Structure 1
Amino acid sequence: MRSGPIAAAREGRHTPEKKKQELTCAERPNCRCKGRQVHAKKEKARADVCGAAQSPPQGKAGTRRKEKARNEEKRMKKKKKQGKKRKWLIPLAVVLLAAVVFSVLVGTKVIRINTLLAAGYPVHGIDVSHYQGEIDWAAMKQQGMDFAYIKATEGSAHEDECFDKNWEQAKAAGMICGAYHFFSFESEGAKQAEHFIKKVGDLKGSLIPVVDVEYYGKYVKTPPDVEKVRKEVRDMIDALEGEYGEKPMIYCTYNVYRKYIEGVFDEVPLWIRNVYYPPEDIGRKWTLWQYTDRAQLDGYQGEEKSIDCNVFQGEKGQLNNYVIQ
């Protein structure tokens, strides 16, 4: 370090220049600082680094601007979030609408999905009564029908007027035939079995008999007593088995199955009706599935324009397991 007059003189020369680099707020024109801060110039940026220059204006105006900025940021985030929701809400709404429309069309039988699904089964058949009138059984055979269940009796006294002719002509056409009985809630099961046996007679070479249990008339709204129905159905099943040496089959709808048949007649072959979708949810093996009551086939002329169609769960050779020997 130098000392002496020369050094002092040099020091005196440089001191004012240094002070020019560090000015107080009072010495700076247009400075907004309230204190007497010292301002330094950055060598690199040559920019004012005063706290007043860096910080946003204080006071009510500054607070309002901050609040406005925060609100705008929130609004933009909310808008962006809503936009993302709309992106998946629209496709979801379209899918739900399509599902509702499809369900309505299936429920009203405009779309007959069962017909497409049933086509995958190898063995098909029909069930008929006097409602189909005169039937051309050869034409039924030509349209791929392998078997037919024909109504024989109802209750303890009624006979189907077309049974004899249908039975004879269907067998002559080479159809595998079976006879069914429409169960009455107003007659004893044993008497109904006796009536059926008397009408149908020998069934060797034919399919096992069927007991058709479904609601009708006033019983649609007021189903009969569960235990009473089960007893009478059991009496009829036992009587038919005693006569023909084979357990008969029970035909029923889902409602009747759940209320009277499920868990009680599990050893009896089941013919289930479901005209909306395959009966895979029934909870047990089924033998026949009535998949539609709206089929339109050639070869019959009666008051009923539609005909019931069914499939067998198995190959054609396995259908012989249900033929009385």
Structure 2
Amino acid sequence: MRKKTVRRRTTVTRKSKKKSVFVTKVIRYLSWVLVGIFLVGIVYHYREGLAYYFSFKSNKVLSEAEESKHFSDVRNFQVLEKSEGKTIGLDVSEYQEKISWSYVDTLEQKYPLDFVFIRATVGNDRVDSEFKRNWLGAKENKMIRGAYHYYRPNENSIEQAELFIQTVTLKKGDLPPVLDIERLPKNQSIDSLKIGLKRWLTKVESHYKVRPIIYTGEKYYDDFLKEEFSDYLFWIANYNFYREEIQDEWLFWQFTEKAKVPGIKTNVDINIYNGDLQQLRFITVD
């Protein structure tokens, strides 16, 4: 009886192992099928961008840097195609090094670049090293220009506003000033941060007689700014591949940080204005 019992247990164990191996193979096979379907879906979704990209680039020798950003280029094209009729621009700082402004005209030799936001100041003590040159260069290139301040949460807000005011002179046809807020404070509460932001915005608006625009990331906007700063217009950054159209409530959308533009050696951010060129001119300084 003991021997028979042992044999039966062994048989059951072998059958269980075989069944387990079979189930594992089936699961693995189905996983690969699902991955394949997903990839086919991605290719189909971006089919126009892929067709445009490879037809446009096929007669060129691509550098390693260009090859590494194929997907970004395709997604950028997809976004631009869905933004037909809207105005396209860029934003720059000293990180773009010396810009040859006379060459800054189009993206992918197809989409005109009509406006540019230029970083002017950082915190309460630093002027962007390329601001003056970029500010003049953009004007000479007949682009609609705007200046922005990178806000440091742990520094005095009034001092930051004063530095921006001392640095930037807005003229007729320039865009409203921009407050760039991206980080959370280290030594103060969120409520204190919001008080500081409002002080900066109020002082700058009082000086230029125009309400500033706020730049931030989509999550930061949703979590901290959307409700209490609803009186302001927003410039939102979101580079996620699934986001392909600007939201109705956004004034500007920074949809990529990996674009190549003539006259600029480095990658650069590209933005979409939620309207046409005539509407963009309407919001400029009188």
Q: What TM-score do the two structures reach when normalised by structure 2? A: 0.71
Contact 1:203 1:244 in 2 (8 A): no
- The one-letter code sitting in structure 2 at the alignment partner of 1:199 is T
Q: What is the CA distance between 1:101 and its match in structure 2?
A: 9.4
Q: Distance in 2 between matches of 1:142 and 1:92?
A: 43
| 1:156 counterpart SS class | coil
Flag the 1:299–1:281 CA change in 2: closer, same or farther, 3 A.
closer
What is the percent sequence identity of the aligned residues? 29
Flag the 1:95–1:117 CA change in 2: closer, same or farther, 3 A.
farther
Residue in structure 2 matched with residue 111 of structure 1 by the alignment: 71
Residue in structure 1 matched with residue 89 of structure 2 by the alignment: 125
Residue in structure 2 matched with residue 201 of structure 1 by the alignment: 169
Q: Distance in 1 between matches of 2:157 and 2:206?
A: 14
Q: Distance in 1 between matches of 2:260 and 2:174?
A: 26
Q: What is the CA distance between 1:244 and its match in structure 2?
A: 1.4
1:316 to 2:277 alignment: yes
1:270 to 2:234 alignment: yes
What do the CA deviations read for 1:204-224 (whole angstroms, capped 9, x no partner)? 320001111112xxx59x696
- The one-letter code sitting in structure 1 at the alignment partner of 2:33 is V
What do the CA deviations read for 1:182-210 (whole angstroms, capped 9, x no partner)? 01011122221111001002343200011
1:140 to 2:104 alignment: yes
- The one-letter code sitting in structure 1 at the alignment partner of 2:142 is G
Higher RCO by CA contacts (8 Å cutoff, separation 6 or greater): 2
Q: Distance in 2 between matches of 1:281 and 1:135?
A: 28
Q: Distance in 1 between matches of 2:216 and 2:41?
A: 26
Q: What is the CA distance between 1:136 and its match in structure 2?
A: 1.6
1:158 to 2:126 alignment: yes
Residue in structure 2 matched with residue 99 of structure 1 by the alignment: 38
Residue in structure 1 matched with residue 216 of structure 2 by the alignment: 252
Q: What is the CA distance between 1:141 and its match in structure 2?
A: 2.1
Structure number with larger C-alpha Rg: 1
Q: What is the CA distance between 1:177 and its match in structure 2?
A: 0.3
Q: What is the CA distance between 1:96 and its match in structure 2?
A: 5.1
- The one-letter code sitting in structure 2 at the alignment partner of 1:94 is V
Q: Distance in 1 between matches of 2:34 and 2:188?
A: 42
1:171 to 2:139 alignment: yes
Q: What is the CA distance between 1:140 and its match in structure 2?
A: 1.2
Q: What is the CA distance between 1:110 and its match in structure 2?
A: 5.7
1:212 to 2:176 alignment: no
Contact 1:114 1:275 in 2 (8 A): no
| 2:253 counterpart SS class | strand
Flag the 1:245–1:98 CA change in 2: closer, same or farther, 3 A.
farther
What do the CA deviations read for 1:76-96 (whole angstroms, capped 9, x no partner)? xxxxxxxxxx9xx97896345
- The one-letter code sitting in structure 2 at the alignment partner of 1:159 is V
Gaps of 5+ in 2: 1-25, 47-67
1:261 to 2:225 alignment: yes
1:227 to 2:191 alignment: yes
